[in-house]
Structure 1
């Protein structure tokens, strides 16, 4: 698709007149995989989106940066040519073109990633930018993106705004430490931060034990159909007798998988155990009591399905 985009800019009069960036090109042209070519768009609107690239990927990231800014490029060499002079790397080209001189590139990177990246991945990206492409005002960057960075943890209603902020900053600090940096170097908040793992884990445990068990979920245990009851009994036996097990619940939408999950969570929590309901996306997490995405702090399941999993502990 990319090399054909270059070819169209070299040969097609419409493309040459429009002078699009690679991201804008699908607004005017349609890609036909079978023909392996772009053709003028005749109906409907479309918004182009380029595959994400992390700043840690080096040249691939800077190539992507150029493709979102340079109009009507005709080749990779054309992207690396400035005022008739050939530049050997995409990074150097981006700097010479002025696309990486200001802090806007970091903000744009995070803004785009926040549209579809999970908060855990967004925290990793945030830490990467702090280390490899430092913003002139890291605190401003944190204040701008604190909300999307906190979306996952903020769903736990039992903890305060301050505790949510502390957990997110702790997560960012863990990524920074993996790159031999410390969060206090960037002054994201006014005070020096100290993270006590024991207290943090205790807070997480307290939050989990405070998740309420809906009465209708307890009643659901007696309303399970034959297949649901069979799965329920097998899983409960593994939890309370054999102490381990991994289970995969399969079936089309609407047959009652979530109904079964809620019954399982209610049974476990009503007996004083902690059940960690983890999902692959925020939508799935929202329909389970205490649900959270798989990228949050508790990520090691002992049973569940492809998109919803549960870990039980006392």
Structure 2
């Protein structure tokens, strides 16, 4: 089995103008932006190959490596002269938004030369990849979720699979909230009422609580812990660094790595309280 070329190639893909860029700390960002690798990714190279090669237009993206090979030095796809390989598209969970629907379309479409072609179904151009999936009938039933579970089952660990389609049991949480509320001391109840009044009224505020945690009633609450060990004590607990994409090494120029329109940004926007 040794002395053989790799038989599986990982196929990257990305939304418009969101291709990953790798650079060193001391590089000038203007020089980085002018690099060929920024505008000539493997995925964009697939578009270019479909424009010039009729044989390329007969293949889906995942089947493309069976006939073509990607040359990193020239940033182009060329016809395969030796053995064929198997393509594998990066896995994206369903809650990732538009990039998940883009990946879903890539399993069926052949020969697109741009993003607009991917969103064009039966001559109609749709405003989003999600709408294009609906037009193709890919979202009419539970097939997308079934396919996702089957695909993840080949490589996902048990803990990941359990969380893949996790939905909190709201009825159970309501019962827990009522039970915990009865256990509050007078001092804790004053704190609880003050915080919930700020949440319900939309007034907002910042509170420092030193003691036991309290729970939100029916609101979307983000609960973050001070450490990884502490996060294990909370249902769905996450560290602040994980939940808010905070860099581990901080300086005066550091920002949270939260993209506009992403699932995380939408979650934080909907959250009524952060504990």
Q: Name the TM-score class by shorter chain.
A: 0.3 to 0.5
Query: What's the TM-score, normalizing by structure 1?
Result: 0.40
Which structure is higher in helix share? 1
Q: Which of the pair has the greater relative contact order for Cα pairs under 8 Å at 6+ separation? A: 2
TM-score norm. by structure 2 comes to 0.45
